[in-house]
Amino acid sequence: MMKKLLELRQQKAELVEQSKTILAKAKTEKRTLSPDESKQAKSINSQIADINSHIELAEVTAAEERALIGETVEQRSNDKPSNTELRAFVQTGDIRSLSVGVNTDGGYTVIPTLDKSIEVLLREESVFRKNATVKPCSSKSYKKLVSVGGTTTDWAAESDTRNETNTSKLEEVEIALNSLYAYPKTTQELLDWSDFDVSSWLSSEVTAESSLKEETAFWNGDGVKKAKGILTYARSTDIDGTRAFGEIQELTSAASGVIDFDDLVTFQHSVAVAYRKGCKWYMSDAMALSLRKIKDGDGNFIWKSALTEGQPDLLLGKPVEITDQVGDEVVFADLTKAYYIIDGTTGTRLIKDNITQPGFVKMHASRYVGGGLVNDRAVKILKKAA
């Protein structure tokens, strides 16, 4: 499947170059596309869209293959390493005691069931990861072509001359993957003498140390050796279709230092209907406390508390997620369309360390992860006026 993915991406890259060549020629000659060029460009865009669909399917399949490591779900469940096997691995570093389905790479070990457990726990712990789109990637960076619109149409009678119309413009997004690591430790004595649950220890420690780093980066990361946070992208007050690609529209409240009912309604409707239906509110707990007190013109609270445990509260009919990473702003977004989290297909790799601190056993756990904005129209930010 990895070979197939590489072939598809190569085909896509070649088509993109063809499209760029056509557009560059017309731009150099300061003219619109000729009918033949327009027809060729449309054909290329159609082929790219088709390849994108195949790539999406191949990536999902590759992710499942990585999770299963060549086994069925039943086989993986029945053959996962026992606590005794994991204990022996953590104590000695010897992978021969582990069950089949273990990958080694330069002294590192990937334990499929443990890797999957960490992924599930990270998704449960992270507000961002459970709402954004997560994509697998087998290279150091992930590239995606984004159509920013521009195609136009026109009316014509049967005998009218058909004039050339504009073609959509494509922008490329590249998301780099960087290594995120955790370094949990336990005592040698605990491993030697107690019924120590090694699997739970590793899963919980790696998740605890990774989830906060991830969450911080996805919201506020500067993009240096980490994901580029959605709140750190350039902002503009310009509406959709007029901003530069990759800029996020920022709105401010009408009154200084306060957000009221009218601000929220205007803010919600700043997102196009196509994205609004999948949007959620993201805010800090302090901001939520403030907005819960707002009433509409009839004296009704616009904040609706969840009726059952586990269900989100609603603000103007849309779910609310609480995360203090947002600070003193409000985000209204469909993160599945706005932001991609990219996970390396190498999984969570482990290496034992009982040298640097005698009497303790530490496990160096690392994995590759990245993140970036792919659709600036699916996210808006509201801040209080100064």
| Domain ranges within the chain, ordered by starting residue | 1-68, 93-148+167-386
Contacts of 335 (CB under 8 A, 6+ apart): 128, 131, 132, 133, 230, 280, 378, 379
pLDDT at 168: 63
Query: CATH classification of 93-148+167-386 is 3.30.420, yes or no?
Result: no
Residue 169 has pLDDT above 70, yes or no: yes
What are the Cα distances from residue 111, in Å, to 125, 135, 201, 248, 354? 21, 20, 14, 40, 19
pLDDT at 87: 84
pLDDT at 74: 41
Closest CA to 144 of 327, 341, 278: 341
| pLDDT-based confidence at residue 79 (cuts at 50, 70, 90) | low
| pLDDT-based confidence at residue 69 (cuts at 50, 70, 90) | very low
Residue 368 has pLDDT above 90, yes or no: yes
Q: Taking all residues of the chain, what is their mean pLDDT, rounded to a whole number? A: 85
**Tokens 């706005």 sit on residue:** 338
Tell me the pLDDT tens digit for each residue of 277-326.
999 999 999 999 999 999 998 999 999 998 787 789 999 999 999 999 99
Residue 72 has pLDDT above 50, yes or no: no
Tell me the pLDDT tens digit for each residue of 185-202.
889 888 887 777 888 888
Question: Tokens standing for 84?
Answer: 């005794």
pLDDT at 68: 44
Tell me the pLDDT tens digit for each residue of 135-165.
999 899 999 888 766 666 778 887 778 887 7
Mean pLDDT is highest, among 42-51, 81-90, 95-104, 243-252, for 243-252
Closest CA to 333 of 284, 265, 371, 282: 282
pTM: 0.73
Residue 67 has pLDDT above 50, yes or no: no
